């Protein structure tokens, strides 16, 4: 085992208490500076691995505009840092990189509310979590009851959540409250390999493993009464959060196109310091093909989370003996945090068509944006930030400042602090379960490894991360939740 | 399952390994079997049968071949629901590998960690003196 820390010579210029710059002069080949959102406390953690080096590497991407951005939950990934945002100008030869999206395409999170209060559920948390664990397929390679024919699978790739809603697994309101209404336009199943289709065919409606989870929470702090009223939220209200992605189908799409785009580097004379940043111009055949396939995987992930929500609603119906509508189980919002999107943003005062990569970062559009559902247009887009299983999660809203500074983006979670191997060495699963239970948190996990790898001490404190995005003005706190019970994949 | 030795490389979000061998064939075999070592734990061998899968990969250079090889093993393992317990390398050079992976039903194992893919990040495959060494980071 050896340490792999940041080189000591990486220069950081302080802009203000929450923003730091890596100047272009750090590495010849950087086309823009790096811009890191963090305070001094988080910066100490960020310096523990090689994430800042990766921020500088992303700045090499052809067509990148303004800054290579890093959110306060940034940590070392592969190619892009996790918590990285980069936008490229399509007209200026801007590129798209599968590594800027990651293997779990459209990994994301959805938050639904209930009309239940803490007192309604406090004696039934264990029943609820154990039932959710048994009825929502989870774990590595988990397969679901939702079996689809090859033709139907392609329908999912085209139509995303709508496929699920038309099967009876949700409502039109759910689509209204999902980023892209649960399906990106322009998906082309022909761009997806047979292998990827094979990997996806039995995994609809499955949680997966690793950091994916299904969590029952209670609101324990309100920050913005107007936004809470708009979303129908109050103290003591029970919420459900679901974190999952595109499963094996997404991994295969990323692998297929990472492989082919390594060849594109020479073809388009692109120089990047890490092959995992392999890319091609968005407007090239290679770029268009990846984008079409990525959209398919993104749509698959939205359908997956829609199916997971449907299964969750069914479990609540059984436990509480009432239809989910009567239990008030409406979707607040669903956001992707591993994705590339073609969006219009102002650069140097001009509207530009950009390819915005969010690798472990959440879209956070400000008030008035036309892509938001009518009911949220006044307050801004809901931004869902899960923390670790022992602390908090947050609901925020996007801001105008995010539109100006971060292409409408914010953080995506707490961010890992300890490696999985370090967590496994230092944490005992039985002790961890007891500690969580002493805090009133019931956890059911598929594997003991997952449990310790995902222990709270393996993560930064989400409260610190959210403080930074709030204080930097790129999102605004609405309310905070604390976990009552967790199903871990 | 055939046990192989490998070193873990510390990585915040993912898992890296370093493998060494006296031959390139040995290096590919060890790295391939390390996937199972990282992710699987022997459970109850109640599903009989061994399945042999031919794996052939080519690439522009050795490092890319190494990543392609590992990703093909991961991908075939997922699609066929197999745990690869042994690997025979028939031929390997800078640009081509031909091997047979033998596996049994994945349900014979408890899966501890899902490995999504091998990445190019900080990838190294080189020979120093008599020893071949590779380092690779997996997305988990």
- The answer to whether residue A3 sits within a structural domain is no
Domain ranges of chain B: 7-139
Residue A363 near residue A409, CB atoms below 8 Å: yes
Q: Kind and range of the H or E element at A281?
A: strand A280-281
B44 touches chain A (CB under 8 A): no
**What DSSP character marks residue B33?**
H
- The answer to whether residue A5 sits within a structural domain is no
Residue A249 near residue A200, CB atoms below 8 Å: yes
Q: Which of B34, B50, B49, B38 minimizes the C-alpha distance to B134?
A: B34
A349: CB partners within 8 A, 6+ apart: none
A430: CB partners within 8 A, 6+ apart: none
Q: How far apart are CA A114 and CA A41, in angstroms?
A: 36
Q: Kind and range of the H or E element at A309?
A: helix A285-320
> A140, A259, A429: which to substitute to probe chain B, counting the most B Cβ within 10 Å?
A140
Q: How far apart are CA B119 and CA A478, in angstroms?
A: 38
* Residues in A 176-195 with any Cβ partner in B closer than 8 A: 195
- Residue A220 phi, psi (nearest 5): -120, 0
Q: Is B82 exposed, middle or buried (0-12, 13-18, 19+ CB in 10 A)?
A: buried
Q: How far is CA A94 from CA A274, A400, B62, in A?
A: 18, 25, 29
The pLDDT score that the predictor gives to residue B4 is: 84
Q: How far apart are CA A82 and CA B12, in angstroms?
A: 10
- The answer to whether residue A334 sits within a structural domain is yes
Do the bridges between strand A442-445 and strand B15-21 make them parallel or antiparallel, or are there none, so unpaired? Answer: unpaired
Question: What are the beta bridge partners of residue A86?
Answer: A357
Per residue in A1-13, pLDDT (tens digit) is 334 555 557 889 9
Six-digit token string for A17: 């208490």
B133 touches chain A (CB under 8 A): no
Q: Which of A141, A38, A28 minimizes the C-alpha distance to A81?
A: A38
Across the interface, which of B7, B114, B137 has its CB nearest the CB of A1? Answer: B7
Greatest CA separation for chain A: 64
Cα torsion A105, A335, A418, B40: sign: negative
- Give the pTM: 0.95
pLDDT of B3 higher than 90: no
Q: How far apart are CA A329 and CA B118, in angstroms?
A: 39
- The answer to whether residue A4 sits within a structural domain is no
Overall fold of domain B7-139 = Archease, Possible Chaperone; Chain: A; domain 1 (3.55.10)
Across the interface, which of A76, A251, A274 has its CB nearest the CB of B13? Answer: A76
Q: How far apart are CA A23 and CA A164, in angstroms?
A: 47
The pLDDT score that the predictor gives to residue A141 is: 63
Across the interface, which of A2, A139, A416 has its CB nearest the CB of B9? Answer: A2
Annotated catalytic residues of A are 412
* Domain range for A483: 13-488
Greatest CA separation for chain B: 45
Q: Is A10 exposed, middle or buried (0-12, 13-18, 19+ CB in 10 A)?
A: middle
Only one residue has tokens 């091998």, namely B118
Contact A76 B12 (CB under 8 A): yes
Q: Which of A26, A18, A59, A22 minimizes the C-alpha distance to A42?
A: A18
A7 touches chain B (CB under 8 A): no
Local confidence pLDDT in tens for the 489 residues of chain A: 334 555 557 889 999 999 999 999 999 999 999 999 999 999 999 998 999 999 999 999 999 999 999 999 999 999 999 999 999 999 999 999 999 999 999 999 999 999 999 999 999 999 999 999 999 987 666 666 777 888 999 999 999 999 999 999 999 999 999 999 999 999 999 999 999 999 988 776 687 777 899 999 999 999 999 999 999 999 999 999 999 999 999 999 999 999 999 999 999 999 999 999 999 999 999 999 999 999 999 999 999 999 999 999 999 999 999 999 999 999 999 999 999 999 999 999 999 999 999 999 999 999 999 999 999 999 999 999 999 999 999 999 999 999 999 999 999 999 999 888 888 888 899 999 999 999 999 999 877 778 898 999 999 999 999 999 999 999 999 999 999 999 988
Six-digit token string for A426: 């230092």
- Residues belonging to chain B: 140
Q: How far apart are CA A87 and CA A17, in angstroms?
A: 24
Across the interface, which of B78, B110, B123 has its CB nearest the CB of A199? Answer: B78
B110 touches chain A (CB under 8 A): yes
Per residue in A24-71, pLDDT (tens digit) is 999 999 999 999 999 999 999 999 899 999 999 999 999 999 999 999
Q: Show residues of chain B in contact with A51, CB under 8 Å.
A: 12
Grouping H, G, I as helix, E, B as strand and the rest as coil, residue A409 is strand
Residue A17: which CATH number? 3.90.1860.10
Contact B121 A276 (CB under 8 A): yes
Confidence bin at B44 (pLDDT 50/70/90): confident
Rounded to 5°, the CA angle A13-A14-A15 comes to: 110
Only one residue has tokens 């309100």, namely A222
> How far apart are the CA of A372 and the nearest CA of chain B, in angstroms?
32
- Closest residue of B to A83, CA-based? B13
- The answer to whether residue A7 sits within a structural domain is no
* Domain total in chain A: 1
């Amino acid at each position: 085992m050896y340490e792999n820390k940041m080189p000591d010579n990486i220069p950081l210029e302080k802009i203000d208490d929450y923003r730091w710059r890596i100047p272009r002069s750090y590495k010849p080949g950087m086309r823009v500076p790096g811009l890191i959102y963090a305070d001094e406390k988080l910066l100490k953690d960020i310096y523990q691995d090689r994430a800042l080096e990766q921020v500088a590497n992303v700045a090499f991407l052809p067509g990148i505009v303004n800054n290579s951005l890093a959110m306060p939950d940034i940590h070392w990934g592969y190619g892009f840092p996790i918590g990285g945002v980069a936008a490229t100008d399509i007209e200026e030869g801007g590129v798209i990189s599968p590594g800027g999206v990651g293997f779990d395409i459209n990994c994301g999170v959805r938050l639904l509310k209930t009309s239940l209060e803490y007192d309604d559920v406090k004696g039934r948390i264990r029943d609820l979590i154990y039932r959710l664990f048994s009825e929502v397929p989870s774990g590595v390679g988990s397969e679901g009851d939702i079996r689809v024919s090859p033709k139907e699978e392609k329908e999912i790739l085209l139509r995303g959540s709508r496929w699920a809603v038309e099967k009876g697994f949700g409502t039109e309101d759910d689509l209204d409250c999902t980023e892209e209404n649960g399906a990106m336009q322009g998906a082309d199943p022909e761009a997806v390999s047979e292998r990827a289709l094979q990997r996806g065919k039995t995994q609809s409606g499955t949680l997966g493993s690793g950091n994916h989870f299904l969590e029952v929470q209670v609101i324990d702090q309100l920050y913005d009464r107007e936004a809470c009223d708009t979303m129908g939220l109050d103290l003591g209200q029970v919420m459900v959060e679901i974190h999952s992605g595109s499963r094996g189908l997404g991994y295969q799409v990323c692998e297929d196109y990472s492989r082919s785009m390594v060849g594109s580097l020479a073809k388009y004379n692109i120089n990047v310091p890490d092959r995992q940043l392999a890319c091609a111009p968005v407007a090239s055949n290679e770029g268009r093909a990846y984008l079409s396939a990525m959209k398919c995987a993104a749509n698959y992930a939205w359908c997956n989370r829609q199916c997971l929500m449907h299964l969750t609603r069914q479990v609540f119906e059984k436990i509480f003996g009432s239809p989910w509508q009567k239990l008030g189980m409406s979707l607040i919002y669903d956001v992707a945090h591993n994705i590339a999107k073609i969006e219009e943003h102002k650069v140097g005062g001009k509207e530009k068509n950009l390819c915005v990569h969010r690798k472990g970062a959440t879209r956070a559009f400000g008030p008035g944006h036309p892509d938001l559902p009518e009911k949220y247009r006044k307050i801004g887009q809901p931004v869902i930030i899960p923390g670790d299983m022992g602390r908090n999660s947050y609901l925020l809203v996007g801001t105008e400042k995010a539109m100006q500074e971060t292409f409408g983006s914010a953080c995506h979670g707490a961010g890992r602090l300890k490696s999985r191997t370090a967590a496994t060495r230092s944490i005992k699963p039985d002790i961890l379960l007891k500690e969580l239970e002493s805090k009133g948190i019931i956890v059911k996990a598929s594997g003991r490894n997952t449990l310790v790898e995902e222990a709270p001490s393996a993560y930064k404190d989400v409260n610190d991360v959210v403080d930074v995005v709030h204080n930097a003005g790129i999102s605004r706190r609405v309310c905070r939740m604390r976990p009552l019970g967790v199903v871990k994949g | 399952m055939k046990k192989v030795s490998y070193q873990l490389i510390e990585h915040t979000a993912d898992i890296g390994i370093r493998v060494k061998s006296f031959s390139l064939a040995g290096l590919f075999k060890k790295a391939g079997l390390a996937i199972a070592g990282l992710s699987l734990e022997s459970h109850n061998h109640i599903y009989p049968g061994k399945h042999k899968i031919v794996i052939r990969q080519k690439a522009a250079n050795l490092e890319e071949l190494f990543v392609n090889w590992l990703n093909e093993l991961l991908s075939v393992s997922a699609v066929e629901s197999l745990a690869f317990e042994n690997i025979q390398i028939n031929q390997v050079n800078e640009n081509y590998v031909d091997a047979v992976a033998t596996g049994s039903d994945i349900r014979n194992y408890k899966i501890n960690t899902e490995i999504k893919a091998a990445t190019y990040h900080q990838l190294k495959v080189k020979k120093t003196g008599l020893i071949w060494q590779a380092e690779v980071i997996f997305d988990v």
